[in-house]
Amino acid sequence: MKTSVDCLACFMGQALRVARISTTDEVVHLDVARTVAALLPQMEMSLTPPENSVAVYAAIAKVTGCADPYLAIKKASNDQALAILPDLLREVEQSEVPLVAALRLAIAGNIIDYGAMARFDVGAAMARARIIPFAVDESRLLLERVSRLPARSSVLYLVDNCGEIVYDSLVIRCFVDLGLEVTVAVKEGPIINDALFADAMDCGLDHYARIITNGTTCPGTPLASCSAEFLHVFQRADLILSKGQGNFETLSEAVSETGADIFFLLTVKCPVVGAHLARLTGKRLDELPGQGEMVLYCREYPAIG
């Protein structure tokens, strides 16, 4: 997905949000705004929005002197999710199809996105996920693919944000219960509220999965910039789940060497992403306005060579 003109205004909004989280000094806020505004004419519009955001957030960190402005917010998000995890585990275990129940809760958890949104209601998103149809729902296809995987097949789960990763653990546990081996990929360094290695460990994901980083500080998965270790796992996975908008933006039009099915799990929080997804799926624009639609979408990837 290429960067849109609308993304430029979004970058400015994100810059001011982060500046105000980092410091109360209005002089610094102005400096951040001017610095990011100067970056916009230099952006390569053929790149994805997450790739262009790397320079934006690096510039903000340089001006504010704060490399991880969402650190406390990320911990609070994880703690809040962990507090309700036992109840959600019971709900999933008692459901008719545990994997589908877990997927719904995990996708609802993608509302926790401080890049796309300043405010959100996780409880409301989860309540909606339990009762409303998804805008794109290929859960039956995912269940069919999973049912055909031999025991010990490899699943790669690309996680997104803190807090959300706790809800992802519901899905990961289902895969482990089915005899599959899961690898979870987090980001290499701080970027917005994306989960890092320490977050995954603190939330206990290492009890069920191997944890690796994708080798980038991009809020997505740009394959050209990812580490050799990550690409090795990506290319050999039997099934890949890509969580969140940033991973969708960077992978929705990618060409990879993997023959695995890749399923995108996300809440659509932006009209640009919604319009892109509508083009890929043949949905009407009014079905994906970017106002919290929940999506489970599979796109077949052509293999290189």
DSSP string, 190-212: --TTB-BHHHHHHTTGGGTEEEE
pLDDT at 143: 96
Assigned CATH class of 71-299: alpha beta
Longest dimension (CA), the chain: 59
State phi, psi for 185 to the nearest 5 degrees: -110, 125
pLDDT tens string 183-211 = 999 999 999 999 999 999 999 999 999 99
Residues of the chain falling short of pLDDT 50:
302-305
C-alpha dist (Å) from residue 272 to 250, 286, 295: 14, 12, 15
pLDDT at 304: 40
- pTM of this structure: 0.94
Residue carrying structure tokens 């409880």: 123
* Ranges of each domain in the chain: 5-64, 71-299
